[in-house]
Amino acid sequence: DRQLRLWGQHGQASLEAAKICLINSSATGAEILKNLVLPGIGSFTIMDDKLVQASDLGSSFFVTASSVGQPRAKVVTELVQELNEYVEGSYIEENAEKVLESHPEVFFPFTLIIATQLPEEPLRKLAALCWQRNIPLLIAHTYGLFGYVRVAVPEHRVVESRPEVTLDDLRVTNPFPELLEYARSFDLSTADGHAHAHIPYVVILIQLLEQFKAQHDGRIPRSRQEKDQFKQMIRSAARTHMEENFDEALKASNRLVVPYSVPSEVWAVLDSERCSALSPDSPPFWIIAAAVAGF
């Protein structure tokens, strides 16, 4: 439940479908993998040709004294997999540099490749391969207490951004004809007590905003004084302090009674060349964006 609140159902589904390749099961790589296995990725594969050394015991939680001399990929795979029995784990006892040279197609099935402690030259080759195949590449390198993390990916699309602050557009300042007709069907002055307390707060805002605009040359509240005046109109329209719908209208007046405009980040998507240059390989995101832009 906590995970769904963090990244939603689509995020969890993407996590469960993820096929991760970890190059080099160093202490850094093992910790990264641990944090992916715990919430539940689909599967992981460790590619590492090194053996566990005594120096690994002082930095990695996923090797033991009894595993010194054993293949590091095998040891880390077995211990990490104990954290989540539903995640499939495997390992390849090969050098990543040699794999890149001889049979790079091994990397094609993965949805994310994590490269740790990889030298620059093979890292460049791997980055070029991942870029060409549109496979996200996470690069991590540590030097004692220092390190860096980089992400190489041609494009990353976030459909559910889950912003901390959302501005709802309920068309209060510019209602479409059907909404305006619906709002005008309520009579605030003659409705009985029960009906008056159950009038939708959007209707209250639309009706009182019409009255305000009639008194101010068609303008909506702009200045602090005008906004306070509009709030007083809402308070005056309420019959008792127990009417929650008028409290809702009062609380929502600041964020709903504003002219709506399409956010700049949305225009950036709609104006993108990706919308006007669709192809059979275009992701659903850009197909939908092109449809919205056309509409």
How far apart CA 275 and CA 266 sit, in angstroms, is: 12
Closest to 99 in 3D by CA, of 153, 38, 23: 23
CA distance 192 to 241: 16
Q: Check residue 160 and give its pLDDT.
A: 66
What's the confidence (pLDDT) of residue 11?
A: 82
Would you put residue 117 in left (φ > 0), alpha (ψ -120 to 50) or beta?
A: left
Q: What is the pLDDT of residue 165?
A: 67
pLDDT in tens, 160-196: 666 666 667 788 998 999 999 999 999 999 999 999 9
Q: Which candidate, 57, 54, 95, places its Cα nearest to that of 73?
A: 95
Q: What confidence tens digit (pLDDT) does each residue in 65-116 have?
A: 999 999 999 999 999 999 999 999 999 999 999 999 999 999 999 999 999 9
